């Protein structure tokens, strides 16, 4: 622990936005914009509506903003609500080595504390990057292929570090906050509800992770102690040794579609086939998809909720084939009961391919085979997924995704204003300029 403690202290005390690569700063802005779009898209979902009802219990005239709601609430609960909304469509970012969707946790936590403390845009960006660097490393040492904790476990450490930075805690206090987070981070065993094929709205415990991160920082600020132990072995310490040199924030992926990332691989393979072959949904006899062993659990052909649909390869593939695209417009109750989509979904067979497992998390291999009633057979394989580090979304695509996700709440000019504010965050003297843009779209 002592070696890791010394390294973390050195990283925190020498961390300044002006000293880090511009590419890292840009990646932080991309992450903030992407997460903000996901939060806005989550406002009008059943989960978002439930969170707005819940938020009335925590009204605080000195509190902070929940997107889509006029009355402020406590920062602790605002972070929880915004974080869950960020994951409502499952369109938020990810990081393979740590298995975390850290942006949807760390950014809502940092945003709540930044609003509370009236931080500068520069301080907010610094906190976000610190949160990602420590959160991703926590995820890398706590989650394995065999023990899949979900995003909440590792990201809580990052949320605590980001919150502590914005609260002005010393480096020792931030480590203490991370030690407290170690005791109260949500420990969600992800594969349990995937295998049960009943996906909860609060999947991966993300909102509570954001809230726990802030509370850990508050507790450390109040003199309560914790002990950080997760980096105790030499192997785990090696991840901390790279702090400030290898920025994990630069190794993340962004989703061009909503839904579990494991559904995107066959989706994009199918799109390749559709671009090359004229495939009429009514002519399909059978579609066979070979994928990772654990991804093969995502085989429900008739999901009953939006969350179930996000974890259903047959639904995602069928909706893409019928509608020609897959976005928030396909994640609706109407689409869940669309007879054309359901008819195709029932013709989709998911097969586990254990030989693909050894390439994960570096690559996600898959194969899609389509057989038509006319006897035609089309097949394609892929291992690159749009949005991954080796096949990234451009800045324009990230901005277009934000506009696309926020279109039900923002006019084009409003969306562009938020994009501009986020792209110039380091120049903003007060984060509340950005917050004011969020508040302008509220109607609740």
Query: What CATH class has 261-382?
Result: alpha beta
Give the residue-averaged pLDDT of 146-174: 90
Range with top average pLDDT, 2-11, 296-305, 434-443? 296-305
CB 208 within 8 A of CB 80: yes
Q: Which of 313, 94, 49 is nearest to 197 (CA)?
A: 313
Instruction: Tell me, rounded to whole angstroms, the distance of Cα 394 from its chain centroid.
Output: 18
Predicted confidence (pLDDT) per residue in 29-70, tens digit: 999 999 999 999 999 999 999 999 999 999 999 999 999 998
pTM reported for the whole predicted model: 0.93
Residues above pLDDT 90, as percent of the chain: 71
Cis peptide before 361 (omega within 30 of 0): yes
Q: Is the pLDDT of residue 186 over 50?
A: yes
Q: Is the pLDDT of residue 360 over 60?
A: yes
Give the residue-averaged pLDDT of 327-344: 91
Q: Is the pLDDT of residue 390 over 90?
A: no
Q: Which H or E run includes 205?
A: none
- Mean pLDDT, the chain, as a whole number? 91
Q: Is the pLDDT of residue 10 over 60?
A: yes
**CATH match for 2-256+392-439 among 1.10.4100.10, 1.10.3470.10, 2.40.10.220, 3.20.20.70:** 1.10.4100.10
What is the C-alpha separation between 258 and 60, in angstroms, rounded? 33
What is the C-alpha separation between 9 and 179, in angstroms, rounded? 14
User: What is the DSSP-derived secondary structure letter of residue 185?
Assistant: S
Same fold, 2-256+392-439 and 261-382: no
Q: Which of 15, 9, 27 is nearest to 244 (CA)?
A: 15
284-291 and 348-352 strand pairing: parallel
Tokens read off for 79: 């972070």
Instruction: Tell me, rounded to whole angstroms, the distance of Cα 137 from its chain centroid.
Output: 16
Query: 6-15: b or e for each residue (b if 16 or more CB lie within 10 Å)?
Result: ebbeebbeeb
User: What is the DSSP-derived secondary structure letter of residue 152?
Assistant: H
Give the residue-averaged pLDDT of 323-339: 89
Predicted confidence (pLDDT) per residue in 195-236, tens digit: 777 888 888 889 999 999 999 999 999 999 999 998 876 666
Q: Is the pLDDT of residue 444 over 50?
A: no
Give the residue-averaged pLDDT of 266-274: 90
CB 269 within 8 A of CB 276: no
Predicted confidence (pLDDT) per residue in 367-383, tens digit: 999 999 999 999 988 87
What is the C-alpha separation between 1 and 154, in angstroms, rounded? 17
Q: For the chain, give every domain's residue range.
A: 2-256+392-439, 261-382
Q: Which runs of E-coded beta strand occur in 163-305?
A: 284-291
Tokens read off for 57: 């219990």
Q: Is the pLDDT of residue 443 over 70?
A: no
366-372 and 284-291 strand pairing: antiparallel
CB 336 within 8 A of CB 304: yes
CB 313 within 8 A of CB 93: no
377-382 and 284-291 strand pairing: unpaired
pLDDT at 191: 67
Give the Å distances, CA to CA, from 99 to 67, 152, 413, 419. Answer: 26, 10, 35, 28
What is the C-alpha separation between 351 and 385, in angstroms, rounded? 19
Report the alpha-carbon angle 276-366-144, nearest 5. 150
User: Which ranges in 150-226 belong to alpha helices (H)?
Assistant: 151-167, 171-184, 190-195, 206-221
What is the C-alpha separation between 287 and 269, in angstroms, rounded? 12
Q: Quick one: pLDDT band at residue 190, thresholds 50, 70, 90?
A: low
Q: In what order do the strands lie in the sheet with 284-291?
A: 348-352, 284-291, 366-372, 377-382
3-class SS of residue 349? strand
Q: Is the pLDDT of residue 139 over 60?
A: yes
């Amino acid at each position: 622990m002592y070696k890791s403690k010394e390294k973390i202290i050195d990283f925190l005390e020498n961390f300044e936005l002006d000293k880090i690569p511009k590419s890292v700063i840009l990646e932080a802005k991309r992450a903030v914009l992407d997460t903000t779009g996901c939060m806005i898209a989550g406002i009008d979902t059943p989960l978002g509506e439930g969170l707005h009802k819940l938020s009335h219990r925590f009204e605080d005239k000195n509190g902070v903003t929940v997107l889509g709601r006029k009355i402020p609430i406590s920062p602790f609960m605002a972070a929880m609500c915004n974080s869950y909304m960020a994951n409502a469509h499952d369109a938020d970012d990810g990081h393979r080595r740590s298995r975390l969707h850290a942006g949807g946790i760390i950014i809502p936590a940092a945003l709540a504390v930044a609003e509370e403390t009236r931080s500068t845009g520069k301080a907010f960006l610094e906190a976000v990057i610190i949160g990602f660097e420590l959160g991703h490393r926590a995820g890398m040492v706590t989650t394995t292929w065999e023990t899949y904790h979900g995003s909440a476990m590792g990201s809580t450490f990052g949320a605590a570090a980001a919150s502590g930075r914005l609260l002005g805690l010393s480096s020792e206090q931030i480590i203490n906050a991370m030690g407290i987070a170690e005791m109260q981070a949500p420990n969600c065993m992800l594969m349990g509800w995937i295998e049960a094929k009943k996906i909860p709205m609060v999947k991966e415990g993300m909102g509570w992770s954001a809230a726990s991160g802030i509370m850990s920082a508050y507790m450390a600020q109040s003199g309560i102690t914790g002990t950080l132990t997760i980096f105790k072995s030499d192997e785990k310490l090696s991840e901390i040794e790279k702090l400030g040199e290898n920025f994990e924030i630069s190794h993340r992926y962004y989703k061009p579609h909503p839904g579990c990332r494991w559904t995107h691989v066959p989706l994009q393979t199918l799109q390749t086939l559709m671009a090359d072959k004229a495939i009429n949904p009514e002519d399909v006899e059978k579609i066979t998809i070979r994928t990772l062993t654990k991804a093969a659990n995502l085989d429900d052909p008739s999901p009953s909720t939006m969350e179930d649909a996000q974890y259903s390869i047959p639904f995602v593939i069928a909706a893409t084939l019928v509608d020609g695209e897959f976005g928030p417009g396909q994640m609706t109750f109407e689409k869940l009961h669309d007879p054309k989509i359901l008819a195709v979904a029932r013709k989709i067979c998911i097969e586990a391919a254990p030989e693909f497992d050894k390439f994960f998390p570096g690559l996600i291999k898959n194969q899609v085979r389509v057989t038509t009633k006319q006897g035609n057979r089309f097949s394609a394989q892929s291992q690159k997924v749009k949005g991954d580090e080796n096949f990234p979304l451009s800045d324009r695509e990230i901005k277009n995704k934000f506009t696309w996700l926020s279109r039900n709440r923002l006019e084009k000019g409003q969306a562009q204003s938020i994009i501009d504010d986020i792209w110039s965050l380091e120049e903003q003297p007060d984060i509340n300029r950005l917050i004011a843009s969020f508040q302008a779209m509220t109607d609740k």
